[in-house]
């Protein structure tokens, strides 16, 4: 049976606004940092103390990682684009529905 804890250990939270800022934070904090990119399972890892980062870098505010764009005869889907945004995109609906 898994041990369930209610309190997540303390950490510093950063929410950079650009990829460049995120890379600088990760370079500065190295192995002490955990990248948060969506994923509710990360919260469970923190609560159950399976991961104990000193720093969490949340990529959710980086606009350049979101969106669906036509590029080079295909689609470019940003890493932080919610699936609902992908399936609602007109080109996706037209070509892949």
pLDDT tens profile 71-96? 988 899 999 999 999 999 999 999 88
Flag whether 82 is in a domain: yes
Helix residue ranges per DSSP H, 1-97: 19-29, 41-47, 83-88, 90-96
Pairing of strands 55-58, 12-14: parallel
74 and 92 inside one domain: yes
Q: Are 37 and 59 in contact (CB under 8 A)?
A: yes
Domain assignment of residue 75, given as a range: 66-97
| Domains: count for the chain | 2
CATH label of the domain that carries residue 25:
3.30.43.10
Rounded average pLDDT per 10-residue block, the chain, 97 residues = 68 94 98 84 65 87 94 91 94 87
Flag whether 26 is in a domain: yes
Flag whether 2 is in a domain: no
27 and 51 inside one domain: yes
Model-level pTM?
0.76
18 and 53 inside one domain: yes
Single out the residue of 73, 78, 79 nearest to residue 91, CA to CA. 73
Single out the residue of 77, 40, 42, 67 nearest to residue 11, CA to CA. 42
């Amino acid at each position: 049976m898994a041990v369930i804890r209610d309190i997540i250990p303390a950490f510093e939270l950063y929410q950079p606004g650009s990829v460049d800022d995120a890379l600088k934070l990760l370079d500065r904090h190295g192995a002490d940092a955990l990248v948060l990119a969506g994923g509710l399972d990360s919260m469970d890892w923190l609560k159950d103390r399976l991961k104990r980062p000193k720093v969490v870098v949340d990529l959710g505010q980086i606009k350049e990682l979101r969106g669906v764009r036509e590029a080079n005869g295909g689609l470019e889907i940003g890493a932080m684009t919610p699936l609902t945004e992908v399936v609602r995109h007109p080109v996706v609906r037209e070509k892949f529905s």
